[in-house]
Structure 1
Amino acid sequence: MELDFERCYRAVDSRDPRFDGWFVTAVTSTRIYCRPSCPAVTPKRQNVRFLPSAAAAQREGFRACLRCRPDAAPGSPEWDNRADVVARAMRLIADGVVDRAGVPGLASRLGYTERHLHRMLHAELGAGPLALARAQRAQTARILIETTDLGLAEIAFAAGFRSVRQFNETIRDVYGRPPSALRSSAVASGAPGTIMLRLPYRAPLHADGLFEYLAARAIPGVELADDGRYQRTLRLPHGPGSASLTPRDGYVQATLRLTDVRDLAPAVARCRRLLDLDADPHAVDAALATDPALAETVEKEPGVRLPRAVEGFELAVRAVVGQQVSVAAARTVLGKLVRTCAPTAGELLFPDAATVAEAPDEAFAMPATRRRTVRALAAAVASGDLVLDNGTDRAEATEKLLELPGVGPWTAGYVALRALGDPDVFLPTDLGVRRGAAALGLPDEPAALAGYATRWRPWRSYALIRLWRNA
Structure 2
Amino acid sequence: MTASPATAEVRRLLTPPERYQFGASVRPLLVPGHDPCGHFRDDELWLALRTPEGPATLHLARSGGELLATGHGPGAAWVAERADAIAGLRDDLTAFAELAAGHPVVARLARTFAGVRMPATGQVFPRLLRAILEQKVTGKEAHRSYREICRRFGEPAPGPAGLVLPPDPDAVAATPYWEFHPFGVEQRRTQTLVRAAQVAARLERCAGSAEAVRRMTALPGIGPWTAAEVVRVAYGDADAVSVGDFHIPNTVAYALAGEPRGTDERMLTLLAPFPGHRGRVCDLLAMGGLTAPKYGPRMPVRSFARF
Q: TM-score range by the shorter chain?
A: 0.7 to 0.9
Match of 2:105 in 1: 293
1:379–1:215 CA distance, 2 compared to 1 (3 A): closer
Q: Give the CA deviation at 1:312.
A: 0.8
3-state SS of 2:18 partner: coil
Specify which of 359, 368, 389 is matched with residue 175 of structure 2.
Answer: 359
The amino acid that maps onto 2:104 is P
Query: Is the Cα–Cα contact under 8 Å of residues 239 and 275 in structure 2 kept in the other structure?
Result: yes
Q: Aligned partner of 1:324: which letter?
A: K
Cα deviation for residue 247 of structure 1 reads 4.2
Matched with 1:254 is 69
CA separation in 2, counterparts of 1:344 and 1:197?
24
The CA deviation string for residues 174-222 of structure 1, in whole angstroms up to 9 with x for no partner, is xxxxxxxxxxxxxxxxx82234432223334232422443455476321
Q: Could you tell me which residue of structure 2 aligns to residue 336 of structure 1?
A: 148
CA distance in 1 between partners of 2:30 and 2:127 (Å): 15
How big is each residue's C-alpha offset from its partner over 1:439-468, in whole Å with a ceiling of 9 and x where there is no partner?
Answer: 524344121121010100121121121122
2:283 alignment counterpart: 465
Partner of 1:243: 58
Residue 267 of structure 1: which of 59, 79, 101 is its match? 79
Using the alignment, how far apart are the partners of 2:175 and 2:35 within structure 1?
19
Residue in structure 2 matching 1:434, options 245, 249, 254: 249
1:101-250 alignment, distance < 5 Å: 140=1, 143-144=2-3, 148=4, 192-217=7-32, 220-247=35-62, 250=65
Say whether residues 1:323 and 2:135 are aligned partners: yes
Partners of 1:438 and 1:207 in 2: CA distance: 29
Q: Give 1:370's match in structure 2, choosing from 189, 192, 200.
A: 189
Whole-Å Cα distance in 2 between the matches of residues 343 and 246 of structure 1? 24
Which of residues 86, 107, 125 in structure 2 aligns to 1:313? 125
> How many angstroms apart in 1 are the aligned matches of 2:204 and 2:11?
29
Change (3 A) 1:304 1:458: same
| Amino acid corresponding to residue 268 of structure 1 in structure 2 | A
For residues 278 and 343 of structure 1, do their structure 2 counterparts lie closer, same or farther at Cα, with a shift above 3 Å needed? closer
Indicate how the Cα distance of structure 1 residues 467 and 392 shifts in structure 2: closer, same or farther if over 3 A, else same. same
Contact 1:196 1:255 in 2 (8 A): yes
SS at match of 1:259: coil
Q: SS in structure 1 opposite 2:50?
A: strand
List per-residue Cα deviations over 1:122-157 (Å, max 9, x = no partner): xxxxxxxxxxxxxxxxxx4xx33xxx4x6xxxxxxx
Q: Which residue does 1:451 correspond to in 2?
A: 269
1:274-289 mapped onto 2 (5 Å cutoff) = 274-289=86-101
SS at match of 1:209: helix
Counterpart AA for 1:303: G
Query: Secondary structure of 1:455's partner?
Result: coil
Give me the CA root mean square deviation.
2.7
Tell me by how many angstroms 1:420 deviates: 3.0
- Distance change >3 Å, CA 379–CA 203, structure 1 → 2: same
Give the aligned partner of residue 224 of structure 2: 409
The separation in 2 between residues aligned to 1:377 and 1:291, in whole angstroms, is 39
User: CA–CA distance in 2 between the matches of 1:334 and 1:287?
Assistant: 37
Give the structure-1-normalised TM-score.
0.53
**1:274-306 deviation digits (Å, cap 9, x = unpaired):** 222112335333432332221111122213222
Task: Name the structure 2 match of 1:161.
Answer: none
Contact 1:402 1:412 in 2 (8 A): yes
In the superposition, relative to structure 1, how do residues 238 and 329 fare at CA in structure 2: closer, same or farther (>3 Å)?
same
Task: Work out the CA distance in 2 between the residues paired with 1:344 and 1:300.
Answer: 39
Is the 1:285–1:302 Cα contact (8 Å) retained in structure 2? no
**d(CA) in 2 for partners of 1:219 and 1:308?**
21
Q: Distance in 2 between matches of 1:293 and 1:344?
A: 45
Gaps of 5+ in 1: 1-139, 151-190
Structure 1 CA distance, aligned partners of 2:179 and 2:59?
A: 31
Residues 75-96 of structure 1: CA deviation (Å, up to 9, x unaligned)? xxxxxxxxxxxxxxxxxxxxxx
Q: Offset of 1:433 from its aligned partner?
A: 2.5
Q: Which has the larger radius of gyration?
A: 1
1:362 deviates by 2.1
Distance 1:286 1:218, change over 3 A: farther
Conserved 8 A contact 1:416-1:425: yes
Q: Is the 8 A contact 1:309 1:315 kept in 2?
A: no
1:9-52 per-residue CA deviation (whole Å, 9 max, x = no partner) reads xxxxxxxxxxxxxxxxxxxxxxxxxxxxxxxxxxxxxxxxxxxx
Q: For residues 418 and 343 of structure 1, do their structure 2 counterparts lie closer, same or farther at Cα, with a shift above 3 Å needed?
A: closer
**Amino acid in structure 2 at the alignment position of 1:356:** V
Judge which range, 231-240 or 363-372, deviates more. 231-240
Matched residue, 1:380: 199
In structure 1, distance between residues paired with 2:231 and 2:240: 7
